[in-house]
Structure 1
Amino acid sequence: MGLAWDDVQLFLAIAETGSLSAASKRLKVGQPTVSRRLADLEYRLGAQLFQRQVAGAVLTSAGERLLEPARHMAEWAAEVERAAELTGSAPGPRGVVRVTAAPGMAFEFVAPLAAVVRERYPELRLEVLSAVERLDLTRGEADLALRLQPVISNELVVLGSVTAPNAVMVAKSYAARLPRRPKLHELDWIAWSPPFDDVPPNPQLKSLIPDFRPVFTSDNYLVQWRACEAGLGAMIFGRVRYRFSLFSKLVPLDIDLGPHGQSTTHLVCAKSALALPRVRAVADLILEEFTRPTRL
């Protein structure tokens, strides 16, 4: 039997999110609809694709066989959409460009960049995706990504990178309570909470501080930043500010972060998306801003 693209999207949403409820959020439909459509798909295939468990939905052997071909189909569907856009596109950049970035980068860099984009290209609009989870550029889940990790894929390209030193940052009120030359383990740390406790800089701090235990955690970057500004503890920030960055109330401490003393942000794009005028225009603006950051 032939599988419709809607069926493949449904299957992938459940397989990759691990539950029917999470898949319903991704697909923007109700959970009963997801359950009904899955039951219909399994009936037509004559095979069970998932084992329903308390913790979620787990792939069966039949589902495992379907997973990689479904992922390839999703990538090709994105390629078809890009080719169709090029075929029918009017001259000049227009439409929506989806940029994914870590919460801090999205807040401090990408959001204000939207004003620059709007001024330069009135018919362009940014959609900023700041979730911690990595989105798949080859499948069109986003057009551009700002990532700390290097790219390992023949379908992706790094358009440019910016490297900045990292620093331990605190409020002046908190700095006044510290010894003259504090050590990492003497600081009260503000960090990510579950389910994001493996997001940087948590792993780096764990590697530097035995028995690392933050004094405050949150799953929201802005909440962490606000707690730091209030004098609750310390955070690690890149010591670079762009021309439209917010003025920070935080000050750096003279502490060596060892192998984690700097970080590099890469601008990544699917190769096939670069031909789209809307994507190329935003990528060029990001690269333009990359060339003129100022160190704190």
Structure 2
Amino acid sequence: MKQTLVPAALALLLGATLTACGQEGGGSSAASGQGGKPTVCLVMKSLGNQYFQTMEKGAQAHAAQRGDLTLTASGIQNETDIDGQISAINKCVTDQAAALVVAPADSRALVAPLARAAKAGIKLVNIDVKLDDGALSSAGLDVPYVGPDNTAGAQQSGEVLAKALGPNGKVVILEGISGAANAQQRKAGFQAAATAGGLTVLDAKSANWETDQAYTVTTNLITAHPDLQGVMASNDDMALGAVKAIAAAKKQGRIRIVSFDNVDAVHPYLADGTVLATVDQYPGKQAGDGIDVAMREIGGEHVTGWVKTDLKVVTKSDLG
């Protein structure tokens, strides 16, 4: 009996060892969470930003509705915390996730850690901010982008301001992080709206997507340009900083704002006319669409290119 059991025990041990070795490196087909479902990592930007809070809630609801995956979601401390995102990506690799859906804080700096994730067998999906094409090419990556047309959205928002101010209206642009693709695209959209509407762009400054920085930058711009009539803010967090700066300068009603993101906190200023327009890019649905693409990839489908998501300009009349 002993001679029969020992080889059997060795065979079981060998099988277990081979199984463990096969999982090393986080192969996407082997990665699973609760109940054997594949794990999808969602890595976002600052969860201090209501936009990404909404994205997380929408993603969790979408994952629960699907019921065929385990979702882990994480964010970073602030919009420039690139190291925090890299750590989150590395954790997804360590945890052997099947797929990683990422809204990058930097369009180039995140490519290298994502390349390591891909090498570990993790499927990649890019949402919100497009990764840099040159950096992707250099890394040998082909990552589908699920997100909106930021240039078109900013242009539509800017057109509302141009119509309100008329030709020769004087405006400034509050930019996002200089290296972020969506910051560049939204600036381009605002500039296109200004050119088409005959507005004069007095200056463009980065406030790194942050409310406090936007307050300081806008205060300085109001001081430098006493005849300022409009602010084109590349996200609502910066628009809220501009609102505070305008109030502090006692220029309510004289300087109008248009923006991007449609967070709840900006709605009171849409209602009172300080903010003329913002842009809803449906962050929860966008994350859900990214999860759907990730699951298609896990299932063996090769997804490439740009999967466009919806945009809508929101004005006072849309508040209900």
- TM-score when normalising by structure 1: 0.40
- Return the index of the structure with the highest Cα Rg: 2
Bigger relative contact order, structure 1 or 2, given CA contacts below 8 A and separation 6+? 1
Give the strand-richer structure, 1 or 2. 1
Give the helix-richer structure, 1 or 2. 2
- TM-score when normalising by structure 2: 0.38
